[in-house]
Structure 1
Amino acid sequence: MNNLMILNQLTSEQYLTQLQQKLENRQLLDEYRNLSLADSSEQEFLELFFLEKIFTINKQLSSHTIKAYRSDAKTLLIFLMDHALSFRNIGFPEVKAYNKYITEKYAPKSAIRKLEFFRRLLDFGYETQFYKVHLSTWISKPAAKKGHYIFETTRAEETQTRFQVRELKQRDAEYVISFFPKIVKANRNRDQLEKRNLLIGYLLYTTGLRASELLSLNWGSFRYNRQGILYVDVIGKGRKPRTIPIRDETQELLFAYRKSLGETIEINPEDTSPLFFALYNKKEPSIHKKRLTYPSLYKIVKEAVHLAGKHSKVSPHWFRHTFVTTLLENDVPLAVVKDWAGHSDISTTNIYLERINQDNSHVHLHKVHLFK
């Protein structure tokens, strides 16, 4: 079994359970009763790394996180295969070569994540005696600008770059959303599709939901609080729950969408049916509920952006950044924005505020009378 085949199995709960049972019978302890992989196979090394460092018992990883780990592992495995290397062959030259390859091929944020995965694997190898030296000390991660930026080259001959924020101005966001229902080409279920798409746009823009969070919504995710205000309960990154209030405009679209499907608008916390599901070519959409996928959501956004004639790089996540910035520009308290956005640390939310303050710094300059 090669390493790529192993990687394809590493997210299977059944496989991991079987692996845990097998480990109890393996002789992998040294004289100090510490895990030792000095004489283990590369397959055992990779399996144990994922089991002990990735799929740990106290972690509940999202599908997005698992996909990222798989991608990082695959990048490393393909590099090793392309250079006829094995995990045992990795030493100082190989670490520096892989570091250079990742830094040159990927944007800083992706490169940092992939090199962090590599660092963790090398550290695990050193801790378990698979490697005799601390190889991760030779990894050099690129610097990444804090915040939500894309890089644009302005002068190629001088390798000058500038940072552009991955968000829309408020007016542009609302303009793009108006095109969400206009991309519908199908005649069947046209009304339902148009209402669904418009609701998707409003939820992205007025709640700041991540794409995975929006696609995971059920009808039972919504509830009224004691004051009769509609809220949505979300399971975010790291399986952390949070609650976000729903604006009146979004609530109206939500109920209009439900009515167009022939569904009840009575809130039912026990209803686990997906809020968004595929509707094309379905004679009875209420019966067939295959949850909407990310590629479908991405296509909706991209087609709307294209039709609106806006920045071609706009993706679903841009609306999340726009939501956070708009709240802070309207003086919503930093702690409240942090909770609604589901940021694990307030310093992440503060990055937005720092940039807003920087953009508004001209106000202070204009208060000063320099010419008399």
Structure 2
Amino acid sequence: MNWDEKLKDFENFLRFERNFSDNTLDAYVRDIRKLKDYAEVELPGIGPDTITYTQLQEYLFGLSKLKFSERSQARWISSIKAFFKYLLEDEIREDNPSKLLEGPKLGLYLPDTLSLEDVERVIKAINLDTDLGLRNQCLIEVLYGCGLRVSELIELKISNINFKENYLKVDGKGGKSRFVPLADYTTRLIRNYIDHVRSQYKINKKHEDILFLNSRGSSMSRVIVFIIIKELTEKAGISKKISPHTFRHSFATHLLQNGADLRYIQEMLGHSSITTTEIYTHLKTEELRDVILNYHPRNITETGSRIS
């Protein structure tokens, strides 16, 4: 049986039946393509219908010795399990060789966040004397002020902005839409960008409704947004490894710190499950722990020094 044929069928299944987002779909397909490449070299004659549990184990063991992170290893196993579950359901196989595969034990993942002061430092690092600088200021403010994923940011449409009521309609993962409020300040920045910067571009007809454009009048790529943020954080003197998603994490964390209800945060982030949003309560718990260790009188010695 041909690996390429089944991989293409799996990709179509994820896209049209499971309604996976492009990013998630690409990750799953990329993981199975790695397995295919391995099988074609190391297991000649073995197809997706005949590969065994032991052979999958050997493949994963070989990858684990290359010092990939536990999170990457867990994702590989998730992709492999999804692939062979699909083959089983499609009656390509009568058994599931991945059923007993176990991923590495993952600790609690606490995403990096920026303080409000750090967010302001990044924004102050922007040169507002240029059109690109004004665009980047607006871009960062929308990214942070609305808690968007980078894919949602670069696909944001002007027609989905309600300037009268101050909210965005965001087309999120899995074709789900949500409405996110806009602060007056952010609305003014968007209007200024549209009226004085974007209007100067010769806009590609395909992208006439896209809010954020590059200097050629086309939609921006994820890579460009990463590069912009990397350059700004370096200029601001922030040593953390920052990505567009860091601003989304910061948005949620700052809302929670200021008393917002977790359910409202869930709605604004577009999480289908409250469990995903609950990660931010752990961030708040970490902050609370630091406060207790630094300021609780039982943790301070008689001389006034803190107990380490």
Question: What TM-score range do you get, normalising by the shorter chain?
Answer: 0.7 to 0.9
Paired AA for residue 116 in structure 2:
Q
Query: Could you list the runs of 5+ residues in structure 1 that have no partner in the other structure?
Result: 1-39, 149-164, 183-189, 265-270, 280-287
2:259 corresponds in structure 1 to 331
Report the structure number with the largest CA radius of gyration. 1
Paired AA for residue 272 in structure 2:
S
Which among 133, 154, 157 is matched to residue 194 of structure 1? 133
Q: Is the 8 A contact 1:273 1:289 kept in 2?
A: no
Deviations along 1:94-131, whole A, 9 cap, x unmatched?
A: 11112223444432333222211111222334455644
In the alignment, the residues of structure 2 paired with residue 42 and residue 349 of structure 1 have an alpha-carbon distance, to the nearest angstrom, of 37
Which among 344, 347, 357 is matched to residue 275 of structure 2? 347
Match of 2:98, SS? helix
Q: Is the 8 A contact 1:180 1:300 kept in 2?
A: no
Q: Is the 8 A contact 1:167 1:319 kept in 2?
A: yes
Deviations along 1:59-112, whole A, 9 cap, x unmatched?
A: 433322232223222222222234244325522331111222344443233322
Q: 1:178 to 1:71 in 2, by over 3 A?
A: farther
Q: Is the 8 A contact 1:221 1:233 kept in 2?
A: yes
RMSD: 2.8
Which moved further from structure 2: 348-357 or 130-139? 130-139
2:11 corresponds in structure 1 to 50
Which among 170, 182, 190 is matched to residue 116 of structure 2? 170
Q: Is the 8 A contact 2:11 2:29 kept in 1?
A: no
Q: 1:41 to 1:147 in 2, by over 3 A?
A: closer
How far apart are 1:357 and its partner, in Å? 2.5
Match of 1:206, SS? helix
TM-score (norm 1): 0.70
Which among 17, 21, 29 is matched to residue 70 of structure 1? 29
Q: 1:60 to 1:129 in 2, by over 3 A?
A: closer
2:306 corresponds in structure 1 to none
Q: Is the 8 A contact 1:102 1:114 kept in 2?
A: no
Task: Report sequence identity in percent.
Answer: 26
Which moved further from structure 2: 173-182 or 333-342? 173-182
In the alignment, the residues of structure 1 paired with residue 183 and residue 71 of structure 2 have an alpha-carbon distance, to the nearest angstrom, of 33
Q: Is the 8 A contact 1:180 1:301 kept in 2?
A: no
1:213 matched to 2:145? The reply is: no
1:134 matched to 2:134? The reply is: no
1:233 corresponds in structure 2 to 169
Q: 1:338 to 1:272 in 2, by over 3 A?
A: farther
In the alignment, the residues of structure 1 paired with residue 26 and residue 188 of structure 2 have an alpha-carbon distance, to the nearest angstrom, of 35
1:278 matched to 2:214? The reply is: yes
In the alignment, the residues of structure 2 paired with residue 341 and residue 130 of structure 1 have an alpha-carbon distance, to the nearest angstrom, of 38
Q: Is the 8 A contact 2:253 2:283 kept in 1?
A: no
Q: 1:49 to 1:252 in 2, by over 3 A?
A: closer
Match of 1:311, SS? coil
Greater fraction helix: 2
Give the paired residue count.
291
Q: Is the 8 A contact 1:306 1:312 kept in 2?
A: no
Deviations along 1:4-53, whole A, 9 cap, x unmatched?
A: xxxxxxxxxxxxxxxxxxxxxxxxxxxxxxxxxxxx554544344334x4
